[in-house]
Amino acid sequence: MFAGISVLSGDPLYEVAARYVADLRPQRIDLGVGVYRDGSGRAPVMKAVKRAERCLVDRQETKAYRPLLGDPAFLRTMNDLVLGADCPALAEHRIVAIQTVGGTGALRLAAALAGSASTEPRIHLGAPTWPSHAGVFAAESVVAVEHAYWERGANAPLVDQILIAARNSSPNDLFLFHGPCHNPTGVDLSMAERREALAILQRTGAVPMLDIAYYGLGSGIDDDLEIARDMVARSQRAMIALSCSKAFGLYRERVGALFVLCADAGEAVRVRDKLGRLSRLMVSTPPAHGAEAVAMILDNPDLTQAWRDELAGMRDRIIRLRARLAASGLSVLASLGDERGIFAMLPLNPAQVHRLMLDHAIHLPASGRANLVGMRDDDIPHFLAALEAVGCR
């Protein structure tokens, strides 16, 4: 049965993580997998999450299955957080929300929905993008159509190329937008640029899709989520794939949601039934623990404020780190202060990346994509010296 399975290359990010773990040098730095770390290098459980989990342990009376669409309190509180309690589409019953196994699960479910609704489903992806985007959609036979989003040396998105791609979209295509803090570049579209692209998609009939994971780490939770609210307000149909991994620090709990904006309430009923059936075949029902913790945080004003405050502290660390690197005097880092989020595409070639790993214990993918908050505060002088040593100025 398995003799015909071919050898596959490993996942680049997890290969970086494995090399880091095996590196016993005390000065080692992990700039690979996208996990937020504080100034001491820890990836702590957020205090609001800890408090919610203690309450869950004390109050929980069953481990029975949850509904097919997920935890009702989680879906209600996420609707309010992401779309706003006064969202007209919610009042019109045009929004379908389903809990998913992380943001990746939301993307996979969206791909399955697109595949079931179209005979030749396509998704337009800006390059570079999260490495798994194309693969997740390909697994559901959704063809990726790439366009240029960014190129080395540019401090802004390639808006002309993005708008050309939007004009070339067809009815029922998906067109992917990143949320705030673009992965992997840190270079975001402005709201005006997003709106221009959305207006084109409304004319072509393509469906905008938002992949949003880093809300709260860009300009603040409300400003960052305005991207989602604005897209829903300007679209007849849309999809939003959301992750709770970064904003709530629930990486291993696999908490996410998919929101689908439908043309009318009748269409929403059909989409809800379809999503429930698709999810049943994929995962049966989504995991409960992390979703219940999120719902408890968002339903309790004290926990909500504690979460917002801690998230603001994480954002401030990112901003300070970027500013410090941008002011280092190395021209290759000068643009970091103008970008957002934890990621940056450092102008390194594979040979330089290899030398950073071999000679300086700094681990990152060959592409140069760096998770900047993988650095401890005390790592910065070593990091800057290592860049100079491999020829970066």
Residue 132, burial from CB neighbour count under 10 angstroms (0-12, 13-18, 19+): middle
User: Is 377 known to be catalytic?
Assistant: no
pTM of the model: 0.96
pLDDT one-digit tens code per residue, 141-196: 999 999 999 998 878 999 999 999 999 999 989 999 999 999 999 999 999 999 99
The confidence score (pLDDT) of residue 306 equals 97
When the pLDDT of each residue in the chain is averaged and rounded to a whole number, the result is 95
User: Is 338 known to be catalytic?
Assistant: no
The one catalytic residue in 106, 246, 268, 288 is 246
d(CA 337, CA 360): 25
pLDDT band at 222 (very low <50, low <70, confident <90, very high): very high
pLDDT of residue 7 exceeding 90, the answer is no
The confidence score (pLDDT) of residue 290 equals 96
The confidence score (pLDDT) of residue 84 equals 94
Count Cβ neighbours within 10 Å for each residue of 136-166 and write b for 16 or more, e otherwise.
bbeebebebbebbbbeeeeeebbeebbbebb
**Secondary structure E strands in 37-114:** 95-101
d(CA 224, CA 217): 8
d(CA 24, CA 291): 37
What integer is the mean pLDDT of 300-323? 97
User: Is 130 known to be catalytic?
Assistant: yes
The one catalytic residue in 211, 247, 293, 370 is 211
How do the residues of the chain divide into helix, strand and coil, expressed in percent and rounded to 5?
50, 15, 40
d(CA 105, CA 98): 11
What integer is the mean pLDDT of 311-318? 97
The one catalytic residue in 110, 130, 247, 288 is 130
pLDDT of residue 41 exceeding 90, the answer is yes
User: Is 38 known to be catalytic?
Assistant: no
Domains, the chain: 12-45+313-387 (3.90.1150.10), 65-299 (3.40.640.10)
The one catalytic residue in 213, 306, 361, 386 is 213
What integer is the mean pLDDT of 281-301? 96
Residue 186 neighbours by CB distance under 10 Å: 26
- Tokens 């009376």 correspond to what residue? 61
Could you tell me if 299 and 77 are in contact, meaning their C-beta atoms sit under 8 angstroms apart?
Answer: yes
DSSP 71: -
The confidence score (pLDDT) of residue 6 equals 87
The confidence score (pLDDT) of residue 10 equals 79
The confidence score (pLDDT) of residue 119 equals 85
